């Protein structure tokens, strides 16, 4: 097992997945947390990247980028997990770990992975994210009066949420190769990520399809 079975579903943060986009936008607009983080990922022209922005009291003050590489080795879902890891890395800084915060991610599967048994491809990133979340939680417990909470929100796309729209723009830039000095990244992302089996299979099937189409076109 990748995780103690008795701990499955017990995580050091809250999860919020609303029933509708309207309910989500209302919940985000009325959030009282000073720290709001929005993550997004993108796949353009054969490349995959993730970007995360941090806002404090409505002001955009920090951005992190991560260029995963070609989509023949990495998936957008994997980039979503990278975004979650980057967001938690931001909160783990001394400056922000003691404040109430929310992290918005537009992928329910990535969020639900945190409460899973962590045995699927890409879940090694969820496991690392939980390690960082636990570190944040322990730091808060050291301060008896600190009741700061951390919530992961499903952000359901980009429409109507300013922070998420900005993260979308940044993610598209990352696919072009834009990245940061590795010293600004969490230790787990300072080395190449493992190749995703789903990406390899998809790339192989696409190659076979192109070859078949070419053979069919040139046949008598």
Write the pLDDT tens digit of every residue in 48-68: 999 999 988 878 888 899 999
DSSP codes, 98-127: TS-EEEEES-HHHHHGGGS-S-STTHHHHH
Q: Write the CATH number for 54.
A: 3.30.420.10
pLDDT of residue 209: 96
| Average pLDDT value for the chain | 82
- Residue appearing with tokens 């078949």: 212
189 or 168, higher pLDDT: 189
Which tens digits make up the pLDDT trace of 101-138?
888 888 888 888 888 888 887 788 888 888 888 888 87
How many domains are contained in the chain?
A: 1
Closest by Cα among 63, 67, 18 to 39 = 63
Burial (CB < 10 A; 0-12, 13-18, 19+), residue 45, is exposed
* Longest pairwise C-alpha distance within the chain: 79
* pTM > 0.85: no
Contact (CB, 8 A) for 155 and 147: no
Q: Print the domain residue range for 187.
A: 5-218
């Amino acid at each position: 097992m990748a995780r103690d079975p008795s701990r499955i579903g017990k995580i050091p943060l809250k999860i919020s997945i609303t029933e509708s986009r309207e309910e989500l936008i209302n919940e985000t607009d009325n959030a009282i947390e000073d720290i709001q983080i929005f993550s997004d990922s993108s796949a353009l022209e054969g490349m995959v990247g993730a970007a995360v922005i941090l806002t404090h009291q409505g002001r955009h003050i920090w951005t992190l980028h991560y260029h995963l590489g070609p989509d023949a080795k990495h998936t957008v879902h994997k980039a979503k997990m990278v975004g979650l890891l980057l967001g938690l890395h931001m909160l783990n800084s001394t400056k922000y770990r003691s404040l109430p915060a929310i992290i918005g991610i537009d992928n329910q599967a990535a969020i639900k992975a945190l409460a899973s048994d962590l045995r699927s491809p890409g879940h090694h990133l969820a496991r690392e994210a939980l390690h960082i979340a636990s570190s944040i939680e322990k730091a808060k417990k050291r301060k008896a009066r600190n009741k700061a909470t951390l919530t992961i929100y499903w952000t359901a796309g980009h429409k109507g949420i300013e922070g998420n729209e900005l993260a979308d723009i940044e993610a598209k830039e990352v696919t072009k190769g834009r990245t940061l000095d590795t010293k600004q990244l969490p230790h787990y992302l300072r080395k190449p990520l493992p190749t995703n089996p789903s990406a390899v299979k998809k790339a192989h099937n696409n190659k076979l399809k192109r070859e078949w189409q070419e053979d069919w076109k040139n046949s008598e």
